[in-house]
Structure 1
């Protein structure tokens, strides 16, 4: 039974990875700076606003969220998934990021099998 669950988890991870996230980060012609970073993050009925430079908004961990975004140049499609174990419960959730990062437009969304998978993939960004 455990082998079956591990095999199923591996198969689901492969399928999820093959689908890939939808992302768009388009360039702007103005000067770039963290002060131009204003994003809205949503999943289910939850919404938070995040600004970077300085870190703020109503995100519960804005400093860490801004650091994460800095590491991936504001492109959530570049997030590296963690290694937490999630239950094989299918309750899809779609995470979205919209706004501007250093003057560039950001529109990203990805659907995960459940909130645990979303948290594993996005880290602090969607911990609200």
Structure 2
């Protein structure tokens, strides 16, 4: 039997890709740009609010200013870049509600992607997103 974590993150939007009907309209990866480059942000609260922290994560080749770029690229590669598929790191989190919203946008292996998720607090966030949003 699989247990669910005490605080479950609410998915505000899933990883998206262009559908075949509009694939031609999707912007291509800029010439010379890395095949996987994501802008990651962290904001306090559940609404769109000022960004508290931001980082650039580059994979293929690994780079950017993300402090855990190697681990984050490895974790995302293992799930095909799908943040929703990252395995949950079960940890004991307080029940204090202090929501935090994370988002990413950019390219994963040449495909335009975006993702946003709100969690009850930072502990719940890190149990869902591993090292990807630890910056």
Q: TM-score range by the shorter chain?
A: 0.7 to 0.9
Contact 2:81 2:108 in 1 (8 A): yes
Q: 1:24 Cα shift?
A: 2.8
Q: 1:62 to 1:11 in 2, by over 3 A?
A: closer
The TM-score normalised by the length of structure 2 is 0.74
Aligned to 1:42: 41
Q: Give the structure-1-normalised TM-score.
A: 0.78
Report the alpha carbon displacement of residue 46 of structure 1 after superposing the two structures with TM.
0.4
Deviation by residue 1:73-96 (Cα, 9 ceiling, x = unmatched):
111121121111100000000011
Q: Does 2:81 align with 1:74?
A: yes
Contact 1:22/1:108, CA 8 A, preserved across alignment = yes
Question: Which 5+ residue runs of structure 1 have no aligned equivalent?
Answer: 1-9
Q: Following TM superposition, by how much is the alpha carbon of 1:71 offset from its aligned partner in structure 2, in angstroms?
A: 0.7
- 1:16-55 map, 5 Å: 16=8, 19-26=10-17, 35-44=34-43, 45-55=52-62
Unmatched 5+ residue regions in structure 2?
A: 44-51
Query: What's the counterpart of residue 46 of structure 2?
Result: none
Q: In 1, Cα distance between the equivalents of 2:132 and 2:16?
A: 17
Name 1:60's counterpart in structure 2.
67
Higher relative contact order, chain-length normalized (CA < 8 Å, sep 6+): 2
Structure richer in helix, relative to its length: 1
